[in-house]
Chains A and B, each alone.
Chain A
């Protein structure tokens, strides 16, 4: 496509003007105390040691619950758009790929599990761990000589909704026990949060793999 360089189109002019305005606004932002103080004060009843995890799964648990619901909704909307196409090409199998896979997949599983577990005290959490596990799943899907047999549909759906339902169950139990919706008893908070994170990580990993595949599984299996 031939296009004139340095042509000052209206779109470019407006973008530059918007950039200038936004820069003026952003540089002029007044300093604010933010929410670091209130979060630090409430950390003793958060159950976890890392402030971001405390915000995600305790103080603003409702957001994270709906975020898991958004992930599930994305898979449902992709499934409603049709069946998936087969991956167009399969890689040539060889000793290098088998060896790499054999080493990388366990490392990815251990890394993902560690990231979920460490989220309570350091950087990490269900999303980071789930992303690593999901990446391992996508790598496995792409490198096998033929299409990987998927677990039965019921099991897929259970796995997809595991995170949402675990979160919802714990949140509702908190409501019934008098801690408010999505509230935890402080003494149990650590164990409940870790359990939710594990369930969420499994759901997120499965969601990412299914999002990558795109579409419902095909009815007719072509083995060749």
Chain B
């Protein structure tokens, strides 16, 4: 079956694309909310990559990467919540939730 051969590769490719998409947005976008979302999308790409790798094993689906992904999702949720609260504090202190165009050292 060609489908069985192809599908794990597709997960790997989509995981890479999600990761790079998130990395690009993290660098290019200035709004902090978009940066937080970008890190989350990068994380989703890594999770997808891990699940794709787990499906490639010879002895059936590997449960260890699945457990790692569950752990990763929970850590990502906690980190996102802390980041969002920090963003609100930045907004309250400076009036803007985005990074300035040039840093103080420029």
Q: Which residues of A contact B (CB under 8 A)?
A: 9, 11-12, 15-16, 18-19, 22-23, 26-27, 29, 31-37, 39-40, 51-52, 54-56, 60, 63-64, 67, 70-71, 73-74, 77-78, 81-82, 125, 127, 204, 207-208, 211-212, 214-215
Q: B67–A70 contact, CB under 8 A?
A: no
Q: A23–B13 contact, CB under 8 A?
A: yes
A63 — which chain B residues lie within 8 A by C-beta?
Answer: 67-68, 71
Contact with B59, one of A19, A33, A70 (Cβ below 8 angstroms): A33
Expressed in whole angstroms, the Cα–Cα distance for A23 and B77 within the complex equals 27
A15 — which chain B residues lie within 8 A by C-beta?
Answer: 20-21, 23-24, 27
Most chain A CB within a 10 A radius of its CB, from B71, B75, B78: B78
Task: Return B40 CB to nearest CB of chain A, in Å.
Answer: 15
Q: B64–A215 contact, CB under 8 A?
A: no
Decide yes or no: A77 and B13 within 8 Å by CB, A34-B57, A36-B60 being known contacts: no
- B10-46: which residues lie under 8 A (CB-CB) from chain A? 12-13, 15-17, 19-21, 23-24, 27-28
Contact with B17, one of A19, A55, A60 (Cβ below 8 angstroms): A19
Expressed in whole angstroms, the Cα–Cα distance for A127 and B70 within the complex equals 8
Q: A55–B59 contact, CB under 8 A?
A: no
For the residues of A in contact with B, the DSSP-based class is: helix
Q: A211–B20 contact, CB under 8 A?
A: no
Q: B79–A74 contact, CB under 8 A?
A: yes
B97 — which chain A residues lie within 8 A by C-beta?
Answer: none
Contact with B74, one of A40, A71, A77 (Cβ below 8 angstroms): A71
Decide yes or no: A29 and B53 within 8 Å by CB, A35-B62, A37-B59 being known contacts: yes
Interchain residue pairs A-B with the least CB separation, the first 4? A34-B57, A74-B78, A51-B63, A34-B62
Task: Return B87 CB to nearest CB of chain A, in Å.
Answer: 11
* 30 A-B contacts (beta carbon < 8 Å): A11-B28, A15-B27, A16-B20, A19-B16, A19-B17, A23-B13, A23-B16, A26-B15, A27-B12, A29-B12, A31-B58, A34-B56, A34-B59, A34-B62, A34-B64, A35-B63, A36-B57, A51-B63, A52-B63, A54-B63, A55-B63, A55-B64, A55-B66, A74-B79, A78-B82, A81-B89, A211-B78, A212-B81, A214-B84, A215-B85
Task: Return B6 CB to nearest CB of chain A, in Å.
Answer: 11
Q: B85–A78 contact, CB under 8 A?
A: yes
Q: A11–B71 contact, CB under 8 A?
A: no
B28 — which chain A residues lie within 8 A by C-beta?
Answer: 9, 11-12
